[in-house]
Amino acid sequence: MPGSSKQSSRRTVYETLRRQVLTLQLRPGEALSEKDLAADLGVSRTPVREGLILLAEDGLVQVFPQIGSFVSRVDMRRVADAQFLREAVELTALEDLPQQPDPELLAALEDNLAQQRAAGDDVEEFFALDERFHHGLLRLSGHDRAWPTVVSAKGHLDRARRLGLYESSPPQTFADQHVRILEAVRARDLDLARTTMRHHLREVFADIERIRERQPDLFADDEATPVRTTVTVWR
């Protein structure tokens, strides 16, 4: 059906561009050309335009009349909101861990930790394993259905986390924290598990401050507007 094909094309473009934004292939503040994106993706400009509209609704793209479309810079208010939601969900879930956690789920988490250690400095591999680890903890507590809600809210947070992994804190720092979290869960020391998890989730804020000192242009400023020259600048 023609309508279904059009919908599928728009969704595919949206998901592709969203992934490129979240993985920093499209950098915060980068100018977006519908023509170039359409050529790169092998589609017409219409699904690209529609995909950019959806990304704007997500807060990941900004459209400035007479100037153009740009990847949104990292908005600290959105980061803080997503962090608040994530922390509320994950720390509360730890309180609902069963007395005898599913041994298969625990084994899967242990295997995940081994893969994290093997990932070394491969940021994208580690990031995917990190996501599965936290999702696995929610599954262990019986709250895995809350994970998609967390994921949908944390676009700006995920970009901040990746910036930290690429430019500030090496992946193995977080892998070690995951080990301590799971050890506390296994020992049924829920106070330690919550304290360690809270510190782990908030580490992104320290990374952000270090990165902002070096690259403030990656972060949102309410008064800044892009100006197209041969190279886009924000003023």
Which pLDDT score, from 0 to 100, does residue 156 have?
95
Identify whether residues 85 and 67 lie together within a single domain.
no
Q: How far is CA 10 from the centre of its chain?
A: 22
Kindly report, residue by residue over 63-97, the tens digit of the pLDDT: 998 899 999 999 999 999 999 999 999 999 999 99
Cα(14)–Cα(8) distance, integer angstroms: 10
Identify whether residues 170 and 228 lie together within a single domain.
no
153 Cβ neighbours under 8 A, 6+ residues apart: 81, 82, 85, 86
Which pLDDT score, from 0 to 100, does residue 66 have?
86
Mean pLDDT (whole number) for 10-37: 95
Identify whether residues 45 and 140 lie together within a single domain.
no
Identify whether residues 34 and 106 lie together within a single domain.
no
The average confidence (pLDDT) of the chain is 92
Under the banding of pLDDT at 50, 70 and 90, the label for residue 8 is confident
Domain ranges, residue 228: 2-72+220-234
Identify whether residues 124 and 30 lie together within a single domain.
no
Cα(186)–Cα(83) distance, integer angstroms: 25
Would the pTM of this model clear 0.75, i.e. be above it?
Answer: yes
Identify whether residues 56 and 90 lie together within a single domain.
no
CB 14 within 8 A of CB 6: no
Beta bridge partners of 219: 74
Which pLDDT score, from 0 to 100, does residue 65 have?
86
Under the banding of pLDDT at 50, 70 and 90, the label for residue 1 is very low
- Three-state SS annotation for the chain: CHHHHHHHHHHHHHHHHHHHHHCCCCCCCCEECHHHHHHHHCCCHHHHHHHHHHHHHCCCEEEECCCEEEECCECHHHHHHHHHHHHHHHHHHHCCCCCCCCHHHHHHHHHHHHHHHHHCCCHHHHHHHHHHHHHHHHHHHCCHHHHHHHHHHCHHHHHHHHHHHHHCCCHHHHHHHHHHHHHHHHCCCHHHHHHHHHHHHHHHHHHHHHHHHHCHHHECCCCCCEECCCCCEEC
Kindly report, residue by residue over 101-160, the tens digit of the pLDDT: 999 999 999 999 999 999 999 999 999 999 999 999 999 999 999 999 999 999 999 999
Under the banding of pLDDT at 50, 70 and 90, the label for residue 222 is low
Kindly report, residue by residue over 187-206, the tens digit of the pLDDT: 999 999 999 999 999 999 99
Count of domains forming the chain: 2
Identify whether residues 162 and 111 lie together within a single domain.
yes
Is the C-alpha dihedral spanning 45, 33, 220, 208 positive or negative?
positive
